[in-house]
Amino acid sequence: MTQSTLVNHSDTVWDGVVLAGGRSSRMGQDKAHLSWHGQPLFLHMAAVLKEAGAARTMINRIGDGGDWVRDVIPGRGPLSGIHAALAESKAQALVIVPVDMPLLQPEHIQTLVKNFEGDYPVEFTGYSLPLLLPVNDHVRAVVETAIASEDHRDYALWRLVEKLDGLRVKEPEDHERAFANANTPAEWQACQLEEA
């Protein structure tokens, strides 16, 4: 993986994907439906993607109506959602975010898009998500191979990005706050306090 410099590719057409299909076992309730500023968290995350410039926003989840993308091969963690979204997207790239990162800002997404050079994933140093992933036959083939594997290590996003020779960009100054995940009630409360 290499360190990328900022390149302006504002004409890139990309789709946003919110990964909202997890079991939320550590939270004790469905994270996607936690209320953030009066709306379900999955809608908030979709709005962040839309504000950043997504041509389309997809929610990887079963049920609830809307622009949902269902797993074709479930049980592979985030890779299942990425696999399903790649099959649906007609854009040049996907920007994938987790449902439980409420402090993420549109400018963080735009940084990934500006660093997109067409063939390689883009991620922030030290973080698997958010992730920009090209939509092309090579990426689809690598994802198909990974998702068909019986080795659970092949489902890891860092391994996928490594296989695709992804680019890393320097994390923003506010990364510890902006990329905080709300996996537990205590982490959810901390995110709410940060926003207050």
- Locus of tokens 């320097």: 170
Q: Give 78-96 pLDDT, tens digit per residue.
A: 999 999 999 999 999 999 9
Rounded to an integer, the average pLDDT of 112-130 is 95
For residue 160, give the nearest of 171, 149, 169 by alpha carbon.
149
Q: Give 142-156 pLDDT, tens digit per residue.
A: 999 999 999 999 999
Q: Give 41-72 pLDDT, tens digit per residue.
A: 999 999 999 999 999 999 997 655 556 788 88
Rounded to an integer, the average pLDDT of 124-144 is 97
User: Do 175 and 127 contact (CB within 8 A), yes or no?
Assistant: yes
Residues 6+ positions from 23 with CB-CB distance below 8 Å: none
Q: Give 7-21 pLDDT, tens digit per residue.
A: 334 588 999 999 987
For residue 121 the two structure tokens come to: 């994933």
Residues 6+ positions from 52 with CB-CB distance below 8 Å: 16, 95, 106, 107, 109, 110, 113
Residue 103 has a pLDDT of 95
User: Do 60 and 17 contact (CB within 8 A), yes or no?
Assistant: yes
Q: What is the mean pLDDT of the chain?
A: 87
Beta strand 56-60 pairing with 122-124: unpaired
| Confidence band, pLDDT 50/70/90 cuts, at residue 191 | confident
Residue 70 has a pLDDT of 86
CATH number of the domain located at residue range(s) 2-195 in this protein? 3.90.550.10
The β-bridge partners of 167 are 2, 122
Rounded to an integer, the average pLDDT of 112-131 is 95
What stretches of the chain adopt beta strand conformation (E)? 2-3, 14-19, 35-36, 39-40, 56-60, 68-69, 93-98, 122-124, 131-134, 167-169
Beta strand 14-19 pairing with 56-60: parallel
- In the predicted structure, residue 2 carries a pLDDT above the cut 50: no
Residue 7 has a pLDDT of 39
| Confidence band, pLDDT 50/70/90 cuts, at residue 34 | confident
- In the predicted structure, residue 164 carries a pLDDT above the cut 70: yes
For the entire predicted model, the pTM comes to 0.89
Give the CA count within 13 Å in the CB-facing half-sphere of 113: 24
